[in-house]
Amino acid sequence: MEAVTEQLSQGAFSLELSDDQRDVRDWVHGFAANVVRPAAAEWDEREETPWPLIQEAAKIGLYSFEALAQFYADETGLLLPIVNEELFWGDAGIGMSIMGTTLAVAGIFSAGTGEQLGEWVPQCYGTPDDPQVGAFCVSEPDAGSDVSSLRTRAKYDEASDEWVLNGQKAWVTNGGIANVHVVIASVEPELKARGQAGFIIPPNTPGLTMGTKVSKHGLRASHTADVFLDDVRIPGRNVLGGKEKLDERLARAREGTRAKKQAAMQTFENTRPAVGAQAIGIARAAYEYALGYAKERTQFGKPIIENQAIAFALADMALEIDAARLLVWRASWMGRTGRKFEHAEGSMSKLKAGEVAVWATERAIQILGGNGYTREYPVERMHRDAKIYTIFEGTSEIQRLVISRAISGMMIR
């Protein structure tokens, strides 16, 4: 916090959005309001990837590597969370179908070479006429939060200069339907997390198959499935960062030298504030709907917002959403400007935003009463969508573990 206070005192950081940031926010908000929201209930019921909407986003330039580069290039770090909040304000399931590819892209960015970025990131998106998606494969049936226990193996075949991957990945967004899969696998299991690396699986690679598609409680317009890897062979150059750097890192790990965070954790650290922004979008949508409802719904001869219990609930919702947004913006700014997360500020932002989303959507249902519990009103869907934000990319319990170890000075092994 001291670093943020110092920058504020020097005038280097401002919460006032620039004209360009407002323009992008309004552009994405318009797409969310006019294209995403009208289709939200339909795709939630269908539980299918909304390819027509992904294509619409691609045609206007929202779903593209160029757009993502623009969002990341913003020197304040605020543009990407702003975009996520607006899109998920429209609908979280459709929003995840559009933004889910960014996790694969973040995986490539976190450890990939410039050549790998140039070759594979555009293939994650495809073209406006033929959009594609990317997938980031980390979790496994027996390794959710404990990514150091991954069983998926990658072995180097020196004779053919190929990597051979075997294993199973679980709960993969876009798993099996992605054009490009980024897979975290263990190269030297005895080194646990320090012995892992990321691998790029090209389109139509033999041996990679989709398992059961998951029928979920929320985010039902986003595809989630298991991915099986059965003697998947990829070129040696498809290890993120290159084999030479991997060999150097493994050598340091064997010597006991403290190494850079392994691929999965590095990716999650970079994406947690953006995930928190998605949760804020859901919370804000529920709050705004409940506020409008409370102004119009009349009981005992007056709008229910004139009842103190309802008014105070809405006041608390507005307060908590703003507090969560400020944590997300701080973490995003720190990450963009290269400031070290001294107290796990990224985890703080994701933890707060996820729990606020669950709480705020539950409050919205309560304000709507029986109507809020039915599928005729969107707050029921928002509540289902919100719950995953206390689970994926690190449960709330894992975020508290990360934060507690950061403030106590303990290392996460």
- Quick check: is 244 catalytic? no
Q: Which residue has the tokens 């323009």?
A: 23
- Say which amino acid occupies 49: T
What DSSP letter does each residue of 270-326 carry, written as one string?
Answer: HHHHHHHHHHHHHHHHHHHHHHHHHHH-EETTEEGGGSHHHHHHHHHHHHHHHHHHH
Residue 310: burial class (beta carbons within 10 Å; 0-12, 13-18, 19+): buried
- Per the CB < 8 A criterion, the answer to whether 253 and 346 are in contact is no
Q: Cα–Cα distance between 69 and 253 in angstroms, integer?
A: 33
Q: Which residues contact 153 (CB under 8 A, 6 or more apart)?
A: 165, 166, 167, 185, 186, 187, 189
With CA atoms as reference, report the closest residue to 288 among 389, 376, 367. Answer: 367
- Per the CB < 8 A criterion, the answer to whether 174 and 135 are in contact is yes
CA distances from 298 to 302, 316, 368 (A): 5, 21, 11
Q: For residue 168, what are its two tokens?
A: 């199973």
Q: Cα–Cα distance between 75 and 69 in angstroms, integer?
A: 12
- 3-state percent helix, strand, coil for the chain, nearest multiple of 5: 60, 15, 25
Q: Furthest-apart CA pair in the chain: how many Å?
A: 82
Active-site residue, selected from the candidate residues 66, 75, 393, 397? 393
Q: Which residues are catalytic?
A: 393
